[in-house]
Amino acid sequence: MTISNQEEYYNETIELIKKANEYISDGKANVNQEYRNNYHVMAPVGWINDPNGFVYYKGEYHLFYQHYPYDTVWGPMHWGHVKSKDLVHWEHMPVALAPTEEYELDGCFSGSAIEKDGKLYLMYTGHYERAGTKREVQCIAYSEDGIYFQKYKGNPVISENEIKGSASIEDFRDPKVFKKGDLYYSVVASKTKDERGRILLFSSKDLFNWSFKSVLLEGNKEQGIMWECPDLFNIDDKDVLIMSPIEIQKNKYEFYNINSTAVFIGNVDWQTGKFKVENYHEIDYGLDFYAPQTCIDEKNRRIMVAWMQMWKRNMPTNDLKHGWAGSMTLPRELHVKNNRLVQSPIYDIYELIKIDTAFQEKNIQDDTLKFENICDENSYFKLKLDVEKTDDFQIRFAKSENEFILISYDVKEEVFTVNREKSGHKITGVEKPQLFERSLSVIPNNNLLILEIFRDTSSLELFINKQFTVTDTFFPIEKGKDLEITAKGKLIVKLLEKGNVH
Ligand code: FRU
């Protein structure tokens, strides 16, 4: 877009975008770098939450996000924007949406993106909440170049008229749009009158005129009081519905955060628009993973990114007035195996990892193996562990005198636990009791566990057997970099590799 077009665009509608962009470019310099990540997406300044509009468009990945540039707490939502050729190097783009119209005065809430005839379309929620009235409607914005967006004059495209009583207009948000055959579809989150999550399915021929098709899926009393951020796709011959339920009931090791994420695996009957569930489970077993969204790229990979933070807990970079809050997870490639969603890091990231330490076949027998100064701020670890003769082991990661992240595994119980209680600045929440650790059951493969740890300055993403993930933020005060592996019984470290992500 030329400068004059750009100006016209600003003058026409979006003074607020100009203001936000100016604020961001002025404010960047004042952001405290101490806990800024190196290879994860963050806003240049201010608050972020959900990933939005994740799409592969004209040879590049675009990722938008819920953004309030003016503070490090949530506020009237804008859409921030980054793009990338490889999912690892991201370029900051101008703010894409700001709340300017009556139907979205209190925020441009979460949504998604799709290409049509070379243009990029955003479908998002207009949020209005004033004087006791709350209303959420679905809206369209479009762009010729994927950078500057125009809001559709006929917005909202889905409101009371289309939902016909099938949802509460107060909680009706986060449209994920996709194409199937000749039709566009959108899944939208809502809830029933008696507070159970509900996902609605709408269809359209042109992205502007939508009609209600069905209640795709509805939860029971245990499955949460509201569902947010749905995404529906087909992979490995299964239909997969991911979403973020609020207050879904705990179940063994699952759903301990007040805001959880869940995946439902099964089949959609496209005649009736109903989802037949075969299995469901939590998506990530950490403390900081919410509102995931996927895109499909030209290699047909289904890639997921989530917000790497959690509602209803304090955020150290806000407490410390560092000028920013929130980050995205590493993009992860998805598959379905044995009716479970499995995740592995996108392979592009491995090209950036330079291995600088490696060894094979080291036994730890009732002892501790110590490495000094190894857990760098952007480090990667791969461990292949044989636990046939092990009772349990603990890994103290990013260890200093008083701080560390504790990753432990109980072989008899087949339970992993990741604990961040002693990892630095305290993170507490409204949950009772306070949650500093999460556990999950993992059955070794022929006695083998393969752990991959992606550490960035203030985050840890653990991949176990390229299947399970645990995502936690942590904000070390002492900046420890040691690593210790302690085993009861005999642990065979078949391989340990350490590198840095550049
Ligand atoms: C999920 C969510 C969405 C909403 C957005 C607002 O984290 O609550 O449902 O659209 O955040 O920022």
Query: In this structure, what CATH number is given to the domain that contains residue 250?
Result: 2.115.10.20
Residues of the chain with pLDDT under 50: 1-4
For ligand 1, whether the C-beta of 288 sits within 6 Å is no
- State the distance from the centre of ligand 1 to the C-alpha of 309, rounded, in angstroms: 13
In angstroms, rounded to a whole number, what is the distance separating the alpha carbons of residues 96 and 101? Answer: 14
pLDDT for position 166: 83
Give, for ligand 1, the residue of 67, 168, 199, 228 to mutate: max count of ligand atoms closer than 8 Å to Cβ: 228
Residue with tokens 């469901």: 280
Question: 64-70: long-range contacts (C-beta < 8 A, 24 or more apart)?
Answer: 64/96, 64/97, 64/113, 64/122, 65/41, 65/307, 65/328, 66/109, 66/110, 66/307, 67/43, 67/95, 69/20, 69/23, 69/24, 69/27, 69/43, 69/45, 69/95, 70/20, 70/23, 70/46
Q: Active site includes 239?
A: no
| Measured CA distances, 15 to 1, 18, 28, 398 (Å) | 17, 5, 20, 45
In angstroms, rounded to a whole number, what is the distance separating the alpha carbons of residues 403 and 421? Answer: 9
Residue 111 CA: nearest ligand 1 atom is: 10
What is the tally of structural domains in the chain? 2
Three-state SS letters, 17-62: HHHHHHHHHHHHHHCCCCCCCCCCCCCCCEEEEEEEEEEEECCEEE
pTM for this entry: 0.96
Residues 98, 23, single domain; the answer is yes
Residue type at 425 in one-letter notation: H
- Going by alpha carbons, the residue nearest to atom 8 of ligand 1 is 228
Residue 50 CA: nearest ligand 1 atom is: 7
Contact 450, 464 (CB under 8 A): yes
Residues 290, 146, single domain; the answer is yes
pLDDT for position 9: 54
- State the distance from the centre of ligand 1 to the C-alpha of 368, rounded, in angstroms: 44
The three-class DSSP label of residue 158 is strand
Contact 456, 38 (CB under 8 A): yes
- Going by alpha carbons, the residue nearest to atom 9 of ligand 1 is 228
Positive or negative: CA dihedral 32, 33, 37, 43: positive
Which of 383, 392, 438, 389 has its CA nearest to residue 411? 392
pLDDT for position 481: 98
pLDDT for position 3: 40
For ligand 1, whether the C-beta of 291 sits within 6 Å is yes
Residues 376, 295, single domain; the answer is no
Residues 339, 353, single domain; the answer is no
For ligand 1, whether the C-beta of 226 sits within 6 Å is no
Give, for ligand 1, the residue of 174, 246, 312 to mutate: max count of ligand atoms closer than 8 Å to Cβ: 174
Range(s) of the domain holding residue 276: 3-345
Residue 228 CA: nearest ligand 1 atom is: 9
**Domain end position, chosen among 295, 324, 345:** 345
pLDDT for position 322: 98
pLDDT for position 8: 55
- State the distance from the centre of ligand 1 to the C-alpha of 110, rounded, in angstroms: 6
For ligand 1, whether the C-beta of 174 sits within 6 Å is yes
Per-residue DSSP letters for 301-349?
A: -EEEEEESS-TTB--HHHHTT-SEE--BPPPEEEEEETTEEEEEE-GGG
CATH of the domain at 459: 2.60.120.560
For ligand 1, whether the C-beta of 110 sits within 6 Å is yes
| Measured CA distances, 454 to 290, 368, 376, 464 (Å) | 18, 22, 10, 12
- State the distance from the centre of ligand 1 to the C-alpha of 328, rounded, in angstroms: 15
- State the distance from the centre of ligand 1 to the C-alpha of 5, rounded, in angstroms: 32
Residues 88, 116, single domain; the answer is yes
In angstroms, rounded to a whole number, what is the distance separating the alpha carbons of residues 463 and 117? Answer: 38
Residues 107, 253, single domain; the answer is yes
**Domain end position, chosen among 345, 376, 393:** 345
Encoded tokens for 3? 């400068």
Residues 191, 331, single domain; the answer is yes
In angstroms, rounded to a whole number, what is the distance separating the alpha carbons of residues 268 and 386? Answer: 41
- State the distance from the centre of ligand 1 to the C-alpha of 96, rounded, in angstroms: 17
In angstroms, rounded to a whole number, what is the distance separating the alpha carbons of residues 376 and 470? Answer: 19
- Express each pLDDT in 68-115 by its tens digit: 999 999 999 999 999 999 999 999 999 999 999 999 999 999 999 999
Burial of 311: CB neighbours in 10 Å, binned 0-12, 13-18, 19+: middle
Residues 376, 476, single domain; the answer is yes
